[in-house]
Amino acid sequence: MPTASDRPDNMLHSVEALLRLIEARDAEVALLKLMVQKLKLQLARRNRAQFGASSERFEDAQGSLIEPHRVSRRPVGLSQTGTA
C-alpha cells in the first residue's frame, strides 16, 4: 500500500489543490446561502412595506368567504326584513 512518502510530489500537490478547491466551493455555497436568506428577508420587508401588515391578517370577514358555516342562510332574493 503506498504511503504519503511514496507518492510523487505532483500527486500531493494535486490532492492539496483539490482540498483547496473543495474548501473554496464550500465557502461559496455558504456565501450563496447567506445571500438567499438576505434576499428573502429583503423581499419580505418590501412586501410588508408595500402591502402593509393588514393584508397579512386573516379577518372574520375573510373567513366567511371560505367557511360555509359562518355565512348566514337567508334565501336568495329576500331582503333582511323578509320581504321580496
The residue extents of the domains of the chain are 9-69
What H or E segment, with its residue span, contains residue 40? helix 9-51
Q: Which residue is listed with cell 366567511?
A: 64
- Mean pLDDT for 19-24 is 95
Spacing of C-alpha 31 from chain mean position: 17
Buried b (16+ CB within 10 A) or exposed e, 11-48: eeeeeeeeeeeeeeeeeeeeeeeeeeeeeeeeeeeeee
Cell digits for 60? 372574520
Contact yes or no for 65/58 (Cβ under 8 A): no
Quick one: pLDDT at residue 64? 62
pLDDT in tens, 56-69: 556 666 666 666 55
- Mean pLDDT for 14-30 is 95
83 compared with 53, residue with greater pLDDT: 53
Average pLDDT, the chain: 76
Contact yes or no for 63/69 (Cβ under 8 A): no
- Mean pLDDT for 64-79 is 58
Task: Tell me how long the chain is.
Answer: 84
